[in-house]
Chains A and B, each alone.
Chain A
């Protein structure tokens, strides 16, 4: 049985904003019966560009229904421009998390919103572009690249969790692998191009803090550890280990092999990591 959060269950048992809107400003239809989930989102936008009303109909499992309910609650009262910035992670966060294997439900929510907003504007939804990579679930390369970028995915399994791509016959797995590698290479290139402008100390500190927050802390936290940024001076980054890491006999290895490597990859290849005196 899935480990659903209380909030998710509450939204499944008591979904908000179920139904249709008679004269909607935009409608988004995604998913299919064949794939086991489908979502139709209706929005009503007023003359100030604010989403006044949002309603939905969902065919799908518990987390699909809860994600749609959450989506309508999040976008109500937002301007179209604000709503455009919504990510699938926002939906997951609103529900207090979604099991990894079910993240595709949050992606379906984001896609339905995009499609409804595109319909409102009278343009084609962006995800319909590209070529189909996964024939079983009809997922395009554009879509796969996007979730990889937005959610920092690194494995085919994660891509399957987020988009279902690769979850059928599995023939497209090598193609997905290539797409992931492509995105990672692009990001590395972008980083290489960026530091040539020389980061200021403040910029670098921000990047280091971001890298710690996004990648490194969650990994250390799994073992009950933590890390804090003490100082950044040129390429010298000083950190202090916290929690179990502070006393862990393997902490040198953690710093050298993991944290330093990650920072070099994400911020600057010349970073030297130092531990603050205890």
Chain B
């Protein structure tokens, strides 16, 4: 069965061109780029090319690109390096809606004695700049705020935050894993000191990423060992994936127009139709300050995992911020930070598109989802006319 894949913020299809470019490095051209023979040494040229391709997409200098094993490694490296390079400063500023790749690291550092300020967001998922200004202290070593949120797609004012950090002499890192390839980004016109990206969100394979470190930014490697990446990230290069990431970045530049026009049109139609056809739902996140491919909608009185199971049965891949799918017992930290009411938080569904989605995909979901919600609402003890008693809304009633 062919699937309708609307979970591109989780991971994306490897572009056929990318796979083709990678294959030689998984077959005949298996040499080590550090070797002193041309069989290996020649591969270094392919890595250089990939570095240029990544740099070109972001308006960076190729020397500023450090290849890593994933977005998570890039995030960890950036935060640890910032603290390591500023030993006298022991305070971190971040947001409450970061991906675990940033959030868990910050929480762990807080448990080790670092100061941590987690900025709140408003009901539309937006940061408060005034709060940001107040959060930065003389002992702040780094501010790390995501470019765009993976669950809601909400875009943060990272350009302004970066300016502010530069004025205050604080390092700024942005987790741009969800933004790269979906939004035009220019390191030259922004004051980002460090930027993380991950291959598998932009049609390169899983297990490769990059950290962009602006020239002149103090840096300490996270992985120590060999001299790869000019001593900034040890470990023999994942050549095939790096080549794949390079080409994926070049393709992203070519497709950015599609990402700005056709993809949001599909997304908007999907969103509008679903919200018109299904009563008692709400959009999570700011309606316009958002990635062009993401929509996050909550359906009241039903639970997200149940929706996903039925969507799956209909051949549709999506995600949910419900407790049952978050791997914890509480709904997504992002929706909770936004103050989404419990009656809605458990029934949230994220649909995220890519260049490979078509009108037919959108039609399929518009056709299937209303029936699924209706079916689950018929089983649910709650409805608009049968709101749970106030006691049922509180956990004290649970058992």
Interface residues, chain A, with chain B CB atoms under 8 Å away: 9, 12-13, 15, 18, 29-40, 57-62, 64-65, 102, 111, 127-128, 132, 135-140, 143, 160, 163-164, 167-168
Binds A, one of B81-89, B193-201, B378-386: B378-386
Q: Which residues of A contact B331 (CB under 8 A)?
A: 36
Verify if B259 is at the interface (C-beta below 8 Å from A): no
Q: Which residues of B contact A163 (CB under 8 A)?
A: 399
Interface residues, chain B, with chain A CB atoms under 8 Å away: 301-306, 309-310, 313, 322-324, 328-331, 342-343, 346, 378-382, 388, 391-399
Q: Is the CB of B396 within 8 A of A33?
A: no
- Our pick among B302, B306, B381, B392 for the contact of A12 (Cβ within 8 Å) is B306
Q: Which residues of B contact A168 (CB under 8 A)?
A: 329-330
In this complex, what residue of A is CB-closest to B309? A62
Q: Which residues of A contact B324 (CB under 8 A)?
A: 36, 60-62, 102
- Our pick among B328, B343, B378, B379 for the contact of A33 (Cβ within 8 Å) is B343
Q: Is the CB of A37 within 8 A of B399?
A: no
Q: Which residues of A contact B393 (CB under 8 A)?
A: 32-34
- Our pick among A15, A127, A128, A167 for the contact of B330 (Cβ within 8 Å) is A167
A contact face: mostly helix, strand, loop, or mixed = mixed
- Complexed CA–CA distance, A18 and B301 (Å): 16
- Our pick among A32, A36, A58, A137 for the contact of B388 (Cβ within 8 Å) is A32
Q: Is the CB of A57 within 8 A of B381?
A: yes
Given A60-B306, A137-B398, A163-B399, A32 contacting B381 (CB threshold 8 A):
no
Given A57-B379, A111-B399, A139-B398, A33 contacting B392 (CB threshold 8 A):
yes
Q: Which residues of A contact B328 (CB under 8 A)?
A: 167
Q: Is the CB of A35 within 8 A of B398?
A: yes
Q: Is the CB of A58 within 8 A of B379?
A: yes
Q: Which residues of A contact B380 (CB under 8 A)?
A: 57-59
Q: Which residues of A contact B382 (CB under 8 A)?
A: 33, 38, 59
How many A-B contacts at CB < 8 Å in the complex?
116
B347 CB to nearest A CB, Å? 9
B382 CB to nearest A CB, Å? 6
Q: Is the CB of A38 within 8 A of B381?
A: yes
In this complex, what residue of A is CB-closest to B382? A59
Given A32-B394, A62-B309, A65-B306, A38 contacting B388 (CB threshold 8 A):
yes
B388 CB to nearest A CB, Å? 5
- Complexed CA–CA distance, A127 and B397 (Å): 11
Q: Is the CB of A138 within 8 A of B396?
A: yes
- Complexed CA–CA distance, A27 and B388 (Å): 15
22 A-B pairs whose Cβ atoms sit less than 8 Å apart in the complex: A9-B309, A12-B306, A30-B398, A32-B391, A33-B343, A33-B382, A34-B342, A34-B392, A34-B393, A34-B398, A36-B322, A36-B323, A57-B379, A60-B306, A60-B324, A65-B306, A136-B395, A138-B395, A138-B397, A139-B399, A164-B398, A167-B328
- Complexed CA–CA distance, A167 and B178 (Å): 29
In this complex, what residue of B is CB-closest to A69? B379
Q: Is the CB of B395 within 8 A of A59?
A: no
Q: Is the CB of A38 within 8 A of B379?
A: no
Pick the most buried of B309, B328, B342, B398: most chain A CB atoms within 10 A of its CB: B398
Pick the most buried of A35, A36, A39, A138: most chain B CB atoms within 10 A of its CB: A36
Q: Which residues of B contact A59 (CB under 8 A)?
A: 301-303, 346, 380-382
- Complexed CA–CA distance, A122 and B330 (Å): 34
Q: Which residues of B contact A135 (CB under 8 A)?
A: 395-396
Q: Which residues of B contact A60 (CB under 8 A)?
A: 303, 306, 324
Q: Which residues of B contact A30 (CB under 8 A)?
A: 398-399
Q: Which residues of A contact B381 (CB under 8 A)?
A: 29, 38-40, 57-59
Q: Which residues of B contact A138 (CB under 8 A)?
A: 394-399
Q: Which residues of B contact A58 (CB under 8 A)?
A: 379-381
- Complexed CA–CA distance, A40 and B343 (Å): 17
B374 CB to nearest A CB, Å? 13
In this complex, what residue of B is CB-closest to A37? B303
Q: Is the CB of A143 within 8 A of B399?
A: yes
- Complexed CA–CA distance, A127 and B381 (Å): 21
